[in-house]
Amino acid sequence: MTDSGPENDRAGTEGTADTADTAGGGDTAGKDSGESTHDTDDSGSSSGKNGSGHPRRRRLRWAAGAVSVALLAGAGVGWSLYQNLDGNIRTDVDTAQELRQHEAERPDAAPGEAENILLLGSDSRGGGNGAYGDDIGERSDTAILLHVAADRRSATGVSIPRDLMVDIPGCTARDGGRTPARFAQFNWAFQYGGAACTIRTVEKLTGTRVDHHLTLDFSGFKKLVDTVGGVEVCLPAAVRDRDARLDLPAGRQTLDGEDALGYVRARHGIGNGSDTQRIGRQQQFLGSLVKKVRDDEVLLNPAKLYPVLDSATSALTADSGLDSLTELYELVRGVRDIPTDRVRFLTIPRQSYALDANRDELVQPDADRLFAQLREDRPVRVANGSGDGRDAGTAEPGRPSGPSARPGNQPSRDAVESPAKPSPTYRGTTAARDVCAADDAGIGMN
């Protein structure tokens, strides 16, 4: 991603300096011409001194002045555009205040320059989202913990199922009251306590500190997809889902914002209707979005970049560490050169909850091993599965795992692997994977 503001400012300043030299050269050229004409006058010609010399100098001055004015205007427009983008982003002040009150219980930061960013998709029906149902409060349809490696050579997005049973700490409610600590499905944290409660729940679950968070709503998602010209998906069969307002043919196709929103939200009329398959489709869609932006060189083309930045920033609510265009630029600049096969997506190892088949629980020790890899900034490997029916994100067979009636909140000793032991491989996908590749994992991602 290119910082359209500061870069333009620098370009404008450098361009103005160069133009000043040119302008000076223009005057010098005019004077030299005048001196040369004057020499000619000495030899008997009077056409230079009183004829064409002054108009030429005036034309050069006017040209230099016009260029200077244009550059100054351009710098002004660049600064105005930067200010507009910067002002689009909404800062989540309440979350920062809540997290400060619980700083003592939060995990340590990741080593080195590694960063963990919680990406939240809000299903709020407020504002411009009323067409998607009644306003019954804000919940999180999507939660992805994005780990950006310290060496900026890989990025791993770990999806957290909305129905995963977890320990949710006591939190400040949206109405200012307090919610009691409870063992409940994960998306309750956002519904009752917002981003701060969700962050604390993720940190308690994984032992991993969340450095930043970004929240995107329905309207923002649609606008972003439309701005990049749509995103490619591949459907093994035609889809008809009235709830998601989705009516799509089978095969490879590019979805606009409205259809893309229906695609990533759909549970009925596509696949087996499970949340697990929906998460898989979201991961594949994000991979396709990353590839689209990279292939079109959006990040390197200011003309293409500005509309994308405008859409993205106007749709985001961010913490104070990512609430400016400069901070977002620094983050994206560090990851824009990551190869697409190192942009990985997987789901926390999960299975049906022993006490309720409609809920999920962690698979251990697989989950704790994954959390340890994120905390220690070790590479996470993903690969398509063999279609053996296991869920996305579950480590490949051959490693012990088993049900956990209640997810553990602290990493087990089994999670810390010896250097000699190879890292496990998890079922998932990468941004490099073709959208119409065979769905070997059996999770409906294509």
| pLDDT digit string, tens, across residues 116-167 | 999 999 875 444 444 444 444 566 678 999 999 999 999 999 999 999 999 9
* Cβ pair 233, 251 in contact under 8 A: no
Q: Is the dihedral of CA 241, 243, 247, 252 positive or negative?
A: negative
- 268-287 per-position pLDDT tens digit: 777 776 788 889 999 999 99
Amino acid at 322: L
Parallel/antiparallel/unpaired status of strands 316-318 and 90-91: parallel
Phi-psi domain of 439 (left: phi exceeds 0; alpha: psi -120 through 50; beta: other)? beta
Residue 392 has pLDDT above 80, yes or no: no
- Dist. CA 356–CA 349, nearest whole Å: 17
Taking alpha carbons only, the member of 115, 191, 109 closest to residue 151 is 115
Q: Please count the helices (runs of H) and the strands (runs of E) in the chain.
A: 11, 20
- Dist. CA 6–CA 3, nearest whole Å: 6
Q: Which pLDDT band, with edges at 50, 70 and 90, does 431 fall under?
A: very high
Angle formed at CA 251 by CA 250 and CA 252, multiple of 5 degrees: 140
Residue 422 has pLDDT above 70, yes or no: no
- Dist. CA 159–CA 153, nearest whole Å: 20
- Dist. CA 319–CA 324, nearest whole Å: 10
Q: Is the dihedral of CA 72, 74, 80, 83 positive or negative?
A: negative
- Dist. CA 288–CA 419, nearest whole Å: 34
- Dist. CA 153–CA 342, nearest whole Å: 7
Q: Which range in 66-80, 212-226, 357-371, 373-387 is most confidently predicted, on average pLDDT?
A: 357-371
Alpha helices in 236-297 (DSSP H): 257-265, 275-295
Q: Which pLDDT band, with edges at 50, 70 and 90, does 99 fall under?
A: very high
Give 3-state DSSP helix, strand, coil % of the chain, rounded to 5.
45, 20, 35
- Dist. CA 271–CA 280, nearest whole Å: 11
Taking alpha carbons only, the member of 277, 444, 274 closest to residue 358 is 274
Residue 316 has pLDDT above 80, yes or no: yes
Q: What's the whole-number mean pLDDT along residues 313-341?
A: 83
Across all residues in the chain, what is the average pLDDT?
75
Identify the residue whose tokens are 């133009």.
19
121 class by beta-carbon count within 10 Å (0-12 exposed, 13-18 middle, 19+ buried): buried
Choose the weakest-confidence range: 3-12, 174-183, 256-265.
3-12
